[in-house]
Chains A and B, each alone.
Chain A
Amino acid sequence: MTAPLVEVTGLTVDFERDGRSSRAVDGVDLAIAPGEALGIVGESGSGKSVTWLAALGLLPARARVGGSVRIDKQQLIGAAPKVLEGVRGKRIAMIFQDPSSCLNPVHRIGWQLVEALKLHRGLDGAAAEAATLRLLDQVGIADARRRLGDFPHQLSGGLNQRVMIAMALAGEPDLLIADEPTTALDATIQAQILALLASIRRDTGMALVLISHDLGVVAENVNRVAVMYAGRLVEEAMGQDLFGAARHPYTQGLLAALPTLTGPRRRLAAIPGTVPEPGKAPPGCAFAPRCPLAEPRCQSEPPPVRHVGLMHRAACHLQIDVGVSAWNLPRAAE
């Protein structure tokens, strides 16, 4: 593997609440190679967003962030505001779940794009306008010139997400974090946006982190998948390995909940129970209370992250064999 572009090691995030602190991200290790597409999945509340907000220093002051996030040699955790401002948008861009509320309601689309262009490329006036039109064209917005004068509320969610992507491209970043970029959009628009992200990645060679609570969204769009649960990384593998040979009961549960090609589309609700809130996870494996195979040591000892195959890691005490699903074993059915 080439030297990583971004390397996350031992990342922790604690939120102070009423004088007590609770851990939302607990020792995440991740590496992203230049140009690579990494998917991050897990149910809502697993700490996917917080991980990347922490990396970019975008969490409120009461969040305590520990560990390390480097881009090339540059340490981001605890970095000065000037350093972070130089990285945000320029080296690592981020887009979010609800595009319409991520654009400023009182500024025109054109104004918001020009702001990014001025910031990252020093463009102004006519040059900025030309570049804006090129960006809108690149993200597939027809009638770009007219859109420049529109306000976000005049555009659909899908169009706004395209604008957000155009804005992210303004800085020609090395990495784009797309945090649930299609969750707020309907199914056809979702497919279009994912296709757009894929084509941009092909054209620019930019790396992509695609965050989703839906394994199905991630499946066709990434090389590698990391699964998060309760602030920890529970499994990480190349796409085909994860979908073909998941080794963690949680991942297996997510896979089992995926709709079949012919079946109806469902949300990931098939695993009984919910993700524990930060600070409420049991001392051992956070997934133990919902795991069909949990043993006494799962309740008390946190499982180590183990290599279970080539570039395949899983954090489970039980070394489940390839091809076996925790959810099909006789014990699970009891």
Chain B
Amino acid sequence: MLLFTASRALRAALTILFVMTFAFVVLRLSGDPALLIMSVDAPPEAIKAFREAWGLERPIWEQYLSYIGHAFTGDFGKSMRDGRPAIDLVMERVPATLAITLPALALKVGLGIPAGVYAALHRNSFADRMTMAVSVAGFTMPSFVLALLLVLLFSVNLGWLPASGADSPTYAILPIITLGASGAAIMARFTRSAMLEVLGQPYIRAASAKGVEWRRVISHHALPNAAIPTVTIIGFMIGSLVAGAVVVESVFAWPGIGRLLVSAVANRDLAVVQAILMVIATWMVLANFTVDMAYGWLDPRVRGTAAAH
């Protein structure tokens, strides 16, 4: 088990290193930041000075090694725009992103799972068909379309909720709904099929044959088994929480990491983009790691093989 955990941790670290390397290379290859930041008609001396100040004139592998070396000490370079440490710029945006993504996650899980379980238990009923129809709509619609529809309805037509900004908690409502709705739809669909799969298993019929009442068959025999595949989806959702907020933060002008990423890319603020990608990758890797651990806890069969590793 210790070995299992250690090998997962090593794999997680390698994944993060890989993402950092990839981001570094792609960003350096995609254009000269000096020209973009300084504007093309800046005097050549100024551009040269900028390059020297940021170490851009050194060979790329040297820049890379120095970047990775510093990263190990927690130094991810400085923003080329305002000179502050890139990681600080990113971290101060984290609370805003979590403020909409965590409630959205709660919405996905809190709405999606009960809806999916209900639909499975009332398979082919009117409620089941409705739930599935809504859920198809929910996850085929791109989030910016949903965002615009919501804005149209609640801000423009009804005037109930603000459409953009972050001046008070009410500003968070539309971003949260936009982020949560499609996730809840996916969650409902997935939970429904996981539940149907479990309900068709011989041990469910055997539990009934044993005399266990139906409610308890559901709660003690079906749900703990259906939870196993469902955890994968929850893990995936947690992993993509930050990355998934990029579009929605931009549409609603919500000052989180996603919006910072869009502006940093537009400004070619390399250090900031790299720091954001690193934070997103670390987040995803941690989420995966947690899911693996949760699996072992929920599914004794996995626990067995993990111990045998």
On A, residues with C-beta under 8 Å from B are 53, 56, 58, 81, 85-90, 93-94, 96, 98, 101-108, 115-116, 119-120, 151, 153-154, 164, 167-168, 171
Chain B residue contacts of A105, Cβ below 8 A: 203, 225, 299-301
Residues of B within 8 A of A96 (CB): 202, 205-206, 209
- Please give the distance in Å from A139's CB to the nearest CB on chain B: 15
> Given A85-B213, A106-B228, 16 more contacts at CB 8 Å?
A58-B205, A58-B208, A58-B209, A81-B214, A88-B211, A93-B210, A94-B209, A96-B209, A101-B201, A104-B221, A105-B225, A106-B298, A106-B300, A116-B211, A119-B210, A167-B210
**Contact of A115 with B212 in the complex, beta carbons under 8 Å:** yes
Closest A residue to B299 by CB, please name it. Answer: A106
Cβ B301 vs Cβ A153 within 8 A:
yes
B300 touches A98 (CB 8 A): no
Contact, CB under 8 Å: B225 / A106: yes
Q: Return B298 CB to nearest CB of chain A, in Å.
A: 7
Partner-A contacts on B (CB < 8 A): 201-203, 205-214, 220-221, 224-225, 228, 298-301, 304
In the complex, which residues of chain A have a beta carbon less than 8 angstroms from the beta carbon of B225? 104-106
Query: Are A116 and B210 closer than 8 Å at their CB atoms?
Result: yes
Residues of B within 8 A of A153 (CB): 300-301, 304
Query: Closest residue of chain B to A104, judged by CB?
Result: B203
How many interface contacts (CB-CB < 8 Å) are there between A and B?
79
| B212:A119 contact, CB within 8 angstroms | yes
A93: chain B residues within 8 A (beta carbon): 209-210
Q: In the complex, A98→B298 CA distance in Å?
A: 23
Choice from B203, B211, B300, B301 contacting A171 with Cβ under 8 Å: B211
Interfacial chain B residues near A104, Cβ < 8 Å: 203, 207, 221, 225
- In the complex, residue of chain B having the shortest beta-carbon distance to the beta carbon of A52: B209
| The one of A81, A98, A171 that contacts B202, using a Cβ cutoff of 8 Å | A98
A53 CA / B206 CA spacing, docked (Å): 11
Shortest Cβ distance from A167 into B: residue:
B210
* A106-B224, A106-B298, A151-B300 known; A86 vs B206 contact (CB < 8 Å): no
Residues of B within 8 A of A103 (CB): 203, 206
Check A164/B206 contact, CB under 8 A, given A81-B214, A85-B213. yes
A89, B211: Cβ atoms closer than 8 Å: yes
CB-CB nearest 9 A-B residue pairs: A89-B211, A102-B206, A88-B211, A151-B300, A94-B209, A101-B202, A89-B210, A104-B203, A102-B202
How far does the Cβ of B302 sit from chain A's closest Cβ, in whole Å?
10
The minimal Cβ–Cβ distance linking B74 to chain A, given in whole angstroms, is 42
Query: Which residues of chain A come closer than 8 Å to B220, judged between CB atoms?
Result: 115
Residues on B with beta carbons closer than 8 Å to the beta carbon of A81: 213-214
Query: Can you list 20 A-B contacts (CB < 8 A)?
Result: A53-B205, A56-B209, A88-B209, A89-B209, A89-B210, A90-B211, A93-B210, A96-B209, A101-B201, A102-B205, A104-B225, A105-B299, A106-B225, A106-B298, A106-B299, A107-B224, A108-B300, A151-B300, A151-B304, A153-B301
Q: A81-B214, A85-B213, A106-B298 are in contact. Are A154 and B206 (CB under 8 A)?
A: no
B203 cross-chain contacts in A, Cβ below 8 A = 101-105
- Complex alpha-carbon distance, A166 and B213, angstroms: 20
Residues of B within 8 A of A89 (CB): 209-212
Smallest CB separation, B236 vs chain A (Å): 22
Complex alpha-carbon distance, A85 and B214, angstroms = 9
Residues on A with C-beta less than 8 A from B211 are 85-90, 116, 119-120, 171
What's the Cα separation between A171 and B209 when bound, in Å?
A: 11
Closest B residue to A179 by beta carbon equals B209
Distance of A105 Cα from B301 Cα, bound (Å): 8
Which residues on the A side are within 8 Å of B206 (C-beta)? Answer: 94, 96, 102-103, 164
A116 to B299, CA, bound (A): 22
Contacts of B209 in A (CB 8 A): 56, 58, 88-89, 93-94, 96
Residue of B nearest to A170 (CB): B210
A137 and B221 CA atoms in complex are apart in Å by: 26
CA distance A106 to B221 in the complex (A): 8
Nearest Cβ on chain A to B20's Cβ, whole angstroms? 39
A86 to B221, CA, bound (A): 19
Q: Indicate if the CB atoms of A88 and B208 lie closer than 8 Å.
A: yes
Tell me which of B201, B208, B221, B299 has the highest count of chain A C-beta atoms within 10 A of its own C-beta. B208
* A87-B210 Cα distance, complex, nearest whole Å: 9
A96 to B206, CA, bound (A): 8
- Among B207, B208, B209, find the residue whose CB has the most chain A CB atoms closer than 10 A: B209
Chain A residues near B214: list those with CB within 8 A.
Answer: 81, 85
Most chain A CB within a 10 A radius of its CB, from B203, B211, B224, B301: B211
Min CB distance A86 to B, Å, is 7
Point out which of A106, A116, A153 has the most chain B C-beta atoms below 10 A from its C-beta. Answer: A106
Most buried by A among B201, B206, B210, B221: B210
